[in-house]
Chain A
Amino acid sequence: MRNKKTIFLGDSDQQGREKAVYEALAAAVKAESLDAAVQLVRVAETGKAGQGVVVRILPENIDYVQVKPADAGRIIGESVKKNKKLEDLTPPAKVRQIKIVLRNCGRIDPERIEDYIAGEGYQALKRVLSERTREEWINEMKLSGLRGRGGGGFPTWMKWNFAYRMDSAEKYVICNGDEGDPGAYMDRSVLEGDPHAVVEGMMIAGYLVGAQKGIFYIRAEYPLAIKRIQIAIDQARSYGLLGERILGGDFSFDLQIRLGAGAFVCGEETALIASIEGKRGCPKPRPPYPTVSGLWGKPTVINNVETLANVAQIILRGGAWFAGIGSPSAKGTKVFALTGKVKRSGLIEVPMGITLRQIVFEIGGGVLKDKRIKAVQTGGPSGGVIPEHLLDTPVDYENLQKLGSIMGSGGMIVMDEDDCMVDISKFYLGFCVDESCGKCAPCRIGGVQMLGYLRRISEGKASMEDVDKMERICAAVQRASLCGLGQTAPNPVLSTLKYFRREYVEHIKERRCGAKKCASLLRFTIIQEACKRCGMCLRACPVAAITRSAANVYTIDPAVCVKCGKCYETCKFAAIKQE
């Protein structure tokens, strides 16, 4: 058993081509009488894309790509039997994920502190408490170049330094777990998969700035994250890692959880603080910044979940190590929730500075059904779309901002040719209008006005003048809103206008939605030559818009039709035309 080899093989594009290679390899194994020494395993996925059939041989860890059935004899006869590497089948180096934040996610039981401790857990806390001064550790954070992962990208060390320098007996550390961007769930997964890493990050932040209390602000829609953080806090307390005189020293610190009630604006730090204080979740003008006057008027550091999950690793491996990863202006890695029309949706952690194209095609495996990619949306409702021709841009805070989007907290939605850009901007703006707290007029009134224009465009009732008006309102809302929610709410509109103006014009002038998403602009008709008179569409129609004449001819009444598309989906003979 000890010398047994395993050959894993799979099709990197899920086209089933591995079956023929499997047969050929099986025959070759038999020919060489290696049946007992080798197991052939077909895998569901190879982690590669566009590289044909991929073969991996263990324990040697040799990868071959673009393998054809004809290569089977060589692979078994030379590579497996004689350990001779086949250079022509060896793949080029590919983009790798680097797991710092997600290092424990999927690797430990999040409900057992012992699993975390076994893998250098709380060692960073121990070092911070026992070695060097607070200034030196804050300087280490400066060296790392870590910037806030919640979207703003503010240097973490600077926040800590401001709070550290404040002369106050009472200070607070808050973990912002109010992740609200549609499609983003990085923070949820970190809280659920590695809660102690965030707890340790908060304790280190607490010690370095001189706080005695930390608060987890987690949205109530994340019950499992809340449960696991509570378990983590209880376990840490039972080991004396929270409470009085931690690790036998003179540092005392405790944590508690506050639940967010689902208001998007409470992810903004001043609104979040108001919410913890039991007030309405409305932002306040800054300055004063929370590091000067935050929770209960005391100096407060607010960091995002992902930011805090980086801290222990930076302490253990050093700021220089962290700064060695990523791009010149953005250090380290970023976790993205890759979703939308992509083959492998999920969480990825990649070094900053990687391009969007690499993310979508090399890690994400490409677009679903191999359709054409139209754009990638980043930053959620505060972000924008990045069109196909700009996908080679390296991802960092400044680059995305230059393109009219933002890094945001890490939502990344892939859009293909079937997505309508007017519809997309209507969705995101609608989200911001719903979530506006109503305190300042630009956001409260401007948002509704912009949404009105977008609705009219999507219904084919707008003129080109309306686009100009909408753009003017966008500029006003951006400039005059009180907080980030309003200031960034026009981003989806402006970026789609910038890169996909043609689609707006098409909606307005031709009253046509190319992606067939805007229901008001759709028309369903029955192609009489193709119709088999089965009556399925008539039964499927929820509003009785389809009628059958005495001569057995089916027609759709456009005045009654609600454009739900049920008839189109139901018809087995493609006799319904959608245009």
Chain B
Amino acid sequence: MNTQKLTAASLDQLAADCAAKVPKNLIRVGMSTCGIAAGAEAVLATLRRNVAARGLKIAVEQCGCAGMCYAEPLVEVAVEGMPTVTYGRVTPQIAGEIIEQHVERKLFVQDYIYTVKVDDEK
């Protein structure tokens, strides 16, 4: 764990460094109580396993509840050059398809998208 004590100036530096490090290719899995109850842990494990096995350049991270609890587990996929989308009711099998179709072949998986992120909703 970090032991650097922040000052007003170094906080800004850290913020800039951290913002620059946000990966362009990123998968996020909703891992709050609602997501975990719906099976998000297995989905996260499947995604991590697949990404590692195929040596893909995409980060897999956890995040909190995005609000759409009825559609958990939620998986947000940001791939450079493609619109960012959130898949819902994802099973480990769908997670495999997301890796194969969306991340590798740059084709969206049919029938599981719940939201499409557009600029004015940031």
Q: Do A and B come from one complex?
A: yes
**A interface, CB within 8 angstroms of B:** 1-2, 4, 6, 8, 10, 39, 41-45, 47, 56, 58-59, 61, 97, 102, 104-111, 114-115, 117-123, 126, 129-130, 185, 188-189, 192-194, 222, 224-225, 234-235, 238-241, 247-249, 343-349
Residue of A with least CB distance to B33: A224
Is B5 touching A106 in the complex (CB atoms < 8 A)? no
Note all chain A residues with C-beta closer than 8 A to B70: 343-346
Of residues 73 through 122 on chain B, the ones whose CB sits less than 8 Å from some CB of chain A are 74, 76, 81-83, 88-89, 106-108, 110-116, 118-120
Is A106 touching B30 in the complex (CB atoms < 8 A)? yes
Is A41 touching B113 in the complex (CB atoms < 8 A)? yes
Is B114 touching A58 in the complex (CB atoms < 8 A)? no
Question: How far is B120's CA from A289's CA once the two chains are assembled, in angstroms?
Answer: 44
Is A234 touching B11 in the complex (CB atoms < 8 A)? no
Note all chain B residues with C-beta closer than 8 A to A129: 8
Question: How far is B6's CA from A333's CA once the two chains are assembled, in angstroms?
Answer: 32
Residue B34 lies at the interface, judged by CB distance under 8 Å to chain A: yes
Option from A10, A117, A346 in Cβ contact (under 8 Å) with B14: A117
Is A120 touching B76 in the complex (CB atoms < 8 A)? no
Note all chain B residues with C-beta closer than 8 A to A240: 4-6
CB distance from B4 to the nearest CB of A (A): 7
Given A44-B113, A106-B30, A111-B62, check contact A118 B68 (CB 8 Å). Answer: no
Is B68 touching A344 in the complex (CB atoms < 8 A)? yes
Is A115 touching B18 in the complex (CB atoms < 8 A)? yes
How many residues on B have C-beta within 8 angstroms of the other chain's C-beta atoms? Answer: 52
Is B108 touching A106 in the complex (CB atoms < 8 A)? no
**B interface, CB within 8 angstroms of A:** 1-8, 11, 14-15, 18-19, 21-22, 28, 30, 32-34, 36, 61-71, 74, 76, 81-83, 88-89, 106-108, 110-116, 118-120
Note all chain B residues with C-beta closer than 8 A to A224: 32-33, 36
Given A107-B63, A344-B68, check contact A43 B76 (CB 8 Å). Answer: no
Note all chain A residues with C-beta closer than 8 A to B89: 44
CB distance from A317 to the nearest CB of B (A): 15
Question: How far is B18's CA from A530's CA once the two chains are assembled, in angstroms?
Answer: 70
Shortest 10 CB-CB contacts between residues of A and residues of B? A193-B64, A106-B66, A240-B5, A118-B18, A346-B69, A43-B113, A248-B7, A347-B67, A41-B108, A189-B65
Is B67 touching A346 in the complex (CB atoms < 8 A)? yes
Question: How far is B117's CA from A56's CA once the two chains are assembled, in angstroms?
Answer: 11
Is B22 touching A56 in the complex (CB atoms < 8 A)? no
Note all chain A residues with C-beta closer than 8 A to B71: 44-45, 344, 346
